Structure 1
Amino acid sequence: MAHSETTVAKMLVGNKSDLDNIRDVSVEEGKTLAESEGLFFMETSALDSTNVKKAFDIVIREIYNNVSRKVLNSDSYKAELSVNRVSLVNNGDGSNQTQGGSSYSCCSR
């Protein structure tokens, strides 16, 4: 994973949590490993649907956050912002004027 895309979300999922009596890895071991690797951790059970939807929701939300962060920090996004930024000048009469000279009224009377 050293060369993975920065938008990737990683999660350690312990499955079959409903079979606690034949557990090979404790919850504490799972949490410790996940924390040391910088991963989310969750236990699930497909049998009774425990945390299955929640695990997908967390991964999807993290992917969305990573993609959003990447876009907001990209040079092309920053360049687009500076091109589309418009300075407004208040004319003092309830109308505003853009740098290009066109004016519009800010409020209806």
Structure 2
Amino acid sequence: MEAAGCRYQFRIALLGDAAVGKTSLLRRYVAGAPGTPAPEPGFDCAPTVGVEFYSRAMQLRAGLRVKLQLWDTAGHERFRCITRSFYRNMVGVLLVFDVTNRKSFEHIQDWHQEVIATQGPNKVIFLLVGHKSDLQSTRCISVQEAEELAASLGIAFLETSAKNNYNVDLVFNTLTDAIQQALQQGDIKLEEDWGGVRIIQIPKAPCRKQQSGSCQC
């Protein structure tokens, strides 16, 4: 249960081949935060070099306040040695493929296995994401095929499109809800030397003083 004046931080990574749209998906999600301007329709992103970081605060249905620390990883093989070093400190992973790119789909099991091989005592929550669902005329991975892969890995599957803003919030909400549930069930435990889940102290509001000088807290 959340302590007063605290909230959780969940560290989540997006993994997948280069050009599957991980950065576009992240930027669309972060732009959906209140007060943040939306990206231009059809926006494109330059390839990620190494790892980039994003964040968004949210409140779950149970009232839990959560800050998502989102790690955008490069999909090119030459950056894999960099991204692998972060796997152990992740509590959630979005495995992203492009529904128009069969190789990106076939490589999902490799990405999944890489994380499993570096996994510590805590459970990592995965979600399979079929991106660019707006490109129906050129897709080569069916929903059924993706669902079968997800079932074989024991994880859930969702399709999304950053261009159309389809299921973008749902993808991150689904993963975050699953992390919260695993945390409540004891499958995930807080550890000092693990960065997947952290408790963040929220500063208290300053006291209001009356004219007499007494503090009204």
If the length of structure 1 is used for normalisation, what is the TM-score? Answer: 0.60
Post-superposition offset of 1:8: 1.9
Q: Could you tell me which residue of structure 2 aligns to residue 20 of structure 1? A: 136
- Show structure 2 runs of 5+ residues with no match: 1-115, 190-217
Higher strand proportion: 2
Aligned to 1:51: 167
CA–CA distance in structure 2, aligned partners of residues 30 and 7 of structure 1 = 23
Give the conservation status (yes or no) of the 8 Å contact 1:7–1:67.
no
Unaligned segments of structure 1, at least 5 residues: 74-109
Mapping for residues 1-109 of structure 1, pairs under 5 Å: 1=116, 4=119, 5-70=121-186
Amino acid at match of 1:70: G
TM-score under structure 2 length normalisation: 0.31
How many correspondences in the alignment?
Answer: 73
What fraction of aligned residue pairs are identical, expressed as a percent? 36
| RMSD of aligned residue pairs (Cα, Å) | 2.1
User: The residue matched to 1:48 in structure 2 has which SS?
Assistant: coil
Q: Relative CO higher for 1 or 2, CA cutoff 8 Å, sep ≥ 6?
A: 2
Match of 2:87 in 1: none
**Paired residue secondary structure (1:41):** strand
Q: Which has the higher helix share?
A: 1
Report runs of 4+ in structure 1 exceeding 3 Å deviation: none
- The answer on whether the counterparts of 1:6 and 1:66 sit within 8 Å (CA) in structure 2 is no
Deviation at 1:3, TM superposition (A): 5.5
Q: Which has the larger radius of gyration?
A: 1
